[in-house]
């Protein structure tokens, strides 16, 4: 039995547009489970990003509740929400949002330093560990404008998980990246998931969706369906340590070459399974 870490009940979101109410989310009930890599898919305008921001406390739903740690977070004050974002939730966005006057490492350290229970050394050690895993050590002292999109997005992920959040929310994290960097970022997320990190990711990229062990399809603001998969890290040949130690000078096909390391048949089956399910959802 999986443990529920967040639950949305009757979640509605609507906007007034020139006198008419536009309903983006319609009475959504959703549970997120500990250790799951949940991916929300749907067509453009289906409400998937709105769902992510409403259940993560980044936006206020028009109706309904979001229960986290036995508390409805929709009614929390700005201060409590800020605390939630600092220590319980992590965020990764489609555009790479790093503070441009801080180095990659500093971007990561800032939320870490907000945790008064941790010493400076503990925060720095965790940041170093994350940077090493993400192969960012060489770039850690560079400004966001001095690194590649992939490096910047990996740093953004490191920042999102520096305080070991209960859930990592990712909104199309590979949307602004090229193929090579997309692979690296997704590998990183799979690695985090393998280590127990719960993830909710919104995407319309099937390759990204393959990383999930739970897929949710959104259509017209409602949950159209969902499917379970075995965790990606359980695929034969998935060796995080060797896979992730990438060289930034590799050519753009490196991701494809590496993908070959995973059992081809298992991967194909998984892709077919997902495609078939998506077809059944009118994707």
Partner 1 sequence: MRDLNLIIKGNFRKNKAAYITVFILMFIVSVCFVTVLSVVNNTKKHNQKAMEDTGLGDMLIWCGEYNFENFEEAKTKFNEKLSDCNVISEAKAIDVIETYIPDINGTDYGNTVFIIDYKSEQVSYKIYDKDDNLVTSPHLNKGEIIVPISFKVLFDVNIGDTFAIGRGDDTLDVKIAYFFEDPYMGTYLMGIKTLLISDEDISYIKDNFGGYAYANSVLYSLKKSDSKMKDIEFEKRVNRDTNISAYAWITITKNECSTYMMMMVNIFSGILLGFIIMLVIIAIIVLGHNISNSIEKDYVNYGIYKAIGITNSKLKISIMCGYILTCIIGFIAGVPVAIPLIKVVNKILRPVGGTYVESKADMVSSTLAMLLILFFVGIYIMIKVARISRVTPVMALNDGRKNVHFSSILKLPVSKRFLNTSLAYRQLISRKKQYISAVIITAFLVVFMVLINQMLSWMSGGDAKIMTELFEPVAYNMVVSGEKSEDLEAKKDEINDLIANESEYKIIHATNQYVLLDDSKISCQIIDNPEAIGNIVKGRTCLYDNEILMTEYLSKELGVGIGDTVVVGDHEEKEDYIITGLTASGNDAGKSFIMNFDGYERLAKDVEWTWRVAYYVVKDEDKVDDIVELINGKYGDLGIKAEREDYDMGNNPISVAVKGISVVIYTLSAIFIMITVILVSGKMFEREKKDYGILKACGFDVGKLRSQFAVRFMIASFAGSLLGIIIALLSGEKIIEMIFSMFGVMHIDLVFGAPALIIPVCVVALMFYVFAYLVSRRIKKVSTRVLVVE
Binding residues vs partner 1 (CB under 8 A): 49, 53, 58-59, 78-79, 82-87, 91, 93-95, 97-102, 106, 109-111, 113-114, 120, 123, 143-146, 159, 163, 171-172, 175
Which residue number, 49 or 74, has a Cβ lying nearer to partner 1?
Answer: 49
| Cβ proximity to partner 1, 43 vs 102, nearer residue | 102
Closest CB to partner 1 among residues 36, 106: 106
CB 79 to partner 1: min, Å: 5
Query: Closer CB to partner 1, residue 99 or residue 257?
Result: 99
Q: Which of 194, 192, 185 is nearest to 235 (CA)?
A: 194
Q: Choose between 65 and 94: whose C-beta lies nearer to partner 1.
A: 94
| Per-residue H/E/C for the chain | CCCEEEEEEEEEEEEEECCEEEEEEEEEEEEEECCCEEEEEECCCCCHHHHHHHHCCCCCCCEEEEEECCEEHHHCCHHHHHHHHHHCEEEECCCCCCCCCCCHHHHHHHHHHCCCCCCHHHHHHHHHHHHHHCCCHHHCCCCHHHCCHHHHHHHHHHHHHCCCCCEEEEECCCCCCCHHHHHHHHHHHHHHHHCCCEEEEECCCHHHHCCCCEEEEEECCEEEEEEECCCHHHCCCCCHHHHHCCCCCCCCCHHHHHHCCCCHHHHHHHHHHHHHHHHHCCC
Q: How far is the CB of 129 from partner 1 (least distance, A)?
A: 17
Taking the complex as a whole, how short is the minimal distance between the CB of residue 11 and partner 1, in angstroms? Answer: 17
The least distance separating partner 1 from the CB of residue 165, rounded to whole angstroms, comes to 10
Closer residue to partner 1 (CB): 164 or 259: 164
* Least separation in angstroms between CB 149 and partner 1: 13
Residue 102 beta carbon to partner 1: minimum distance, rounded to whole angstroms: 6
């Amino acid at each position: 039995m999986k443990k529920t870490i967040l639950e949305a009940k009757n979640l509605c979101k609507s906007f007034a547009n020139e006198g008419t109410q536009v309903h983006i989310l319609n009475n959504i009930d959703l549970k997120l489970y500990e250790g799951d890599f949940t991916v929300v898919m749907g067509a453009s305008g289906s409400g998937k990003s709105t769902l992510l921001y409403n259940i993560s406390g980044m936006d206020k739903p028009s109706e309904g509740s979001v229960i986290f740690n036995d508390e409805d977070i929709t009614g929390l004050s700005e201060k409590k929400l800020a605390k939630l974002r600092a220590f319980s939730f992590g965020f990764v966005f489609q555009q790479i949002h790093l503070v441009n006057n801080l180095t990659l490492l500093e971007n990561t350290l800032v939320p870490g330093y907000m945790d008064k229970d941790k010493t400076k050394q503990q925060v720095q050690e965790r940041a170093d560990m994350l940077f090493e895993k993400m192969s960012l050590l060489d770039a850690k002292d560079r400004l966001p404008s001095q690194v590649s999109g992939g490096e910047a997005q990996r740093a953004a992920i490191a920042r999102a998980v520096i305080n070991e959040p209960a859930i990592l929310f990712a909104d199309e994290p590979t949307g602004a990246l090229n193929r090579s960097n997309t692979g690296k970022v997704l590998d990183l997320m799979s690695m985090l998931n393998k280590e127990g990190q719960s993830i909710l990711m919104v995407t319309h990229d099937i390759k990204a969706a393959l990383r999930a062990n739970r897929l949710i399809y959104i259509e017209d603001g409602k949950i159209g369906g969902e499917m379970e998969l075995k965790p990606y890290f359980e695929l034969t040949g998935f060796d995080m340590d060797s896979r992730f130690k990438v060289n930034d000078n590799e050519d753009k096909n490196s991701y494809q070459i590496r993908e070959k390391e995973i059992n081809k048949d298992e991967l194909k089956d998984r892709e077919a399974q997902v495609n078939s399910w998506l077809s059944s959802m009118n994707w």
